[in-house]
Amino acid sequence: MMKTLLGTVLFTLLLALSPARANDALRLGLLHTLSPAPFYIAQERGYFGDAGIDVTFRFFEAAQPIAAAAVSGDIDVGVTALTGGFFNLAEKGTLKVIAGGLHEEKGYAGSALLVSNAAYDAGLTDPSRLPGHSVAITQYGSSFHYMLGRIADAKGFDIKTLTLRPVQQISNMVAAVTSGQADATIAIASMAKPLDAAKQAHIIAWVGDIVPYQITAVFTTPALLDAKPDLIKRFLTAYRRGVADYREAFLRKDTGGHPVVDGKTDAVIALLERYVFTGDPKARDKILAGVGYYDPDATLDVTDVLAQIGWFRQQGLVKGDSDPKLVVDTRFNPTR
């Protein structure tokens, strides 16, 4: 009995004296916006730490540099909009899409089709009336370009009937509409709703009601997937805990179809204010106006990702001819 007790004590002491196993380090590239909110939640609530990972956020100003940073090894994982530039890199075997992010979904205010007052007064009150009008986008091959192409297909007109005006930055897109330099643009809800309320522009449709699609996604390199699949699995498990909290805070609806806003919502808003709208007295309202839709478990809409590659190829914006399925790694992806 005494020997057993002594052995137990010695084992306990050895455990206490043994150095703790260090967490795995992982660098995540993302935009410093509200869109990657579930990652902020996972970080603040310790979900990455629970998974044995120390995540460092690396913030970028645009989507394309995030993809380039993954290829160069400056980050390990990225989350951003899927673009023609992204797919050109991915087709070379340098990137793999592994999970979903924001998803344009019917019934949820994600991206708005926003038109100028002058264009609205002249009859641009419906997406089917877009032909012949000018539309501000960031650049050719952007997610905005893709959204317009899908809207054109859904409404039965040729995207070539639009005058696309690349203005490089999202803020310039909105400014082009409010100043009357462009007839329309696509703007996220947190930007579009205040302008519509102030009668500085008009929301004529929500993209998700016309063409649900995978707007952002999580990606990494094949090298990291092959070398550390367990790290990626643990990272995605923690991320999905953040998505579950995000959905509980923002995507619940009551019996009347209205968003439920309660203590769970405010608890998450307090976390998000550490990253976005910090110190802004209207932060709560802006966050509530800007939340987008995330599928349960951050499931990737594989069918749409493959459709995006096909569309960009048709436009001549993706040059490769490899199998689109090689761009996606579904080993960690639940069935949508």
Q: 10 exposed, middle or buried (CB, 10 Å; 0-12, 13-18, 19+)?
A: exposed
Q: Which long-range contacts (CB under 8 A, 24 or more apart) does 251-259 make?
A: 251/108, 251/291, 251/293, 251/294, 257/107, 259/288
Give the tens place of pLDDT for each residue, 169-198: 888 999 999 999 999 999 988 889 999 999
Q: How many CB atoms lie within 10 A of CB 288?
A: 17
Instruction: Quote the pLDDT of residue 191.
Output: 87
pLDDT over 70, % of the chain: 93
- Phi, psi angles (nearest 5°) of residue 115: -125, 155
Instruction: Quote the pLDDT of residue 170.
Output: 87
Name beta bridge partners: 281: none
**CA-CA-CA-CA dihedral for 74, 77, 79, 84, to nearest 10:** 70
Residues of the chain with pLDDT under 70: 1-20, 335-336
Whether the model pTM is above 0.95: no
Instruction: Quote the pLDDT of residue 63.
Output: 84
- CA separation, residue 325 to residues 81, 280, 286, 304, 330 (Å): 18, 43, 38, 11, 10
Give the tens place of pLDDT for each residue, 194-229: 999 999 999 999 999 999 899 999 999 999 999 999
Instruction: Quote the pLDDT of residue 3.
Output: 52
Q: What domains lie within the chain, and their CATH numbers?
A: 25-104+214-327 (3.40.190.10), 111-211 (3.40.190.10)
